[in-house]
Structure 1
Amino acid sequence: MRTNVPGGLRVVAVRADGTRVAEARLGHGEHPDVVLGAAGWLVDTPVFATVVDDGALELGYRVRELDGIRPRDGVVPRDAGVGDDEVGEPYQRVAAYAVVTSGRGLLLTQFNSQTHVSGDWGLPGGGLDDGESPVEGVHREVWEETGQRIELGELLTVQSQHWVGRAPSGTLEDFHAVRIVYAATCPEPAEVVIHDVGGTTSDARWVPFDRIGDYPLSSSWRRLAALHELAARPGS
């Protein structure tokens, strides 16, 4: 399996008092809720994403005992034009993003034609480099895509999405996206500068909270609760 985290992913169940009660490898295409559910735990919220000494990236979740039906994996969707008998190259990509706010609004970036969502908007961030922690990665990516220096807040969510589709290169991929999303503030918001020339960002802007709905977000960000909450702020 191709991956940008050679040490692999591990999910960790943590009680409210901080006690670790379970851990398991997160394999290709697996969802943390399903993996921890199989161990008898119901996920409440993510609490950390940390690279540990053995090189693994641990995703920690506050949990409580599961009393009911265990979560199960659903059918893996396929992009239009991909046949049921076609086999893609397994690729697990871990990326870190930030919901960056300031007195100027929300920081958004626009995808260019190197992606399948050209023209859509999303959060600044991107794939981790080899050995890079999510915190290091999100600071680097925000600077490369927007030129802003940020202060990280809480870990908001970890998205796990699995599908089969074609990369912009035309390669058929069995793709597992793991997106680690933080809250962040920018104490000194500046005019946007895209340093990552040749990357996947065509534009970046500070968007007033009452204008967030004017920007077409990619599907992964349209369902992010934190963005809906910002758009619904009093006065927005």
Structure 2
Amino acid sequence: MRPCPPKPVARIWGGSALGFGPGIGEVWLCQAPLLVKLLDPRDWLSVQVHPPHAYALQVEGKPGKYEAWYVLAPGEIVYGFRRPVTPEEVVARAKEGTLDEVLNRLPVRPGQVVYLPAGLVHALGPGVRVYEVQTPSDLTYRLYDYGRPRELHLEKALAVARLEPLPLPEVQPEPVEGGEKLLSTPFFDLFRYPLAGRLALGAEAPLVLTLLEGEARLEGEVLKPPATFLLEAGEEATLEGKGLLLGASPKGG
């Protein structure tokens, strides 16, 4: 079992709700075998897309990026497009500042899970704090940045982006020992574990555990959010207290 110290990261869109000072948009909780973060946006993140493994390995020489959000605070996100669009329209609207008119905005609520596969155009809205789990890559192509003077990556983004409306899949939790599996993807699984007294967990695969709410005791140490630790395959941990934990395990794919 290995504790994972938090790494605050300042972002141009960062808020102040993560407890690490103003402007801290992300707190990296674990970097391997998965990248696990908390995000707190004060403003819209860029409209972006991540490349799949095949494209990223060929063009960038490293793996692509697949991720999911567990919503902690309500608001709006961008999830694909409202209607089919062409690459030419996307380029024109990105340069004119009107891309937002064809983006699909959706409300999200606390406890909701949003899977963001490679190729999905997406953005996180103001105030929508999330727990994010992703494959350990930070490859991001920006399509639109709400007037901020940062580089766009239109050619690469359009090479991988899905340009038609995509439905947001409903998540169907499955019971597992100690909690429930919220999401299963080819690249990782996401778990939720309520803590009400004593919780014994065993890891069949590496398991990144994050205390999101409450307080817990582990091997005599008091844990408070966002305490994060890694159980290797075959390891066990017993926690006592009251709160909520999320767990993420990598998979082949």
TM-score scaled by length of structure 1: 0.21
Q: Which has the higher helix share?
A: 1
TM-score when scaled to structure 2?
A: 0.20
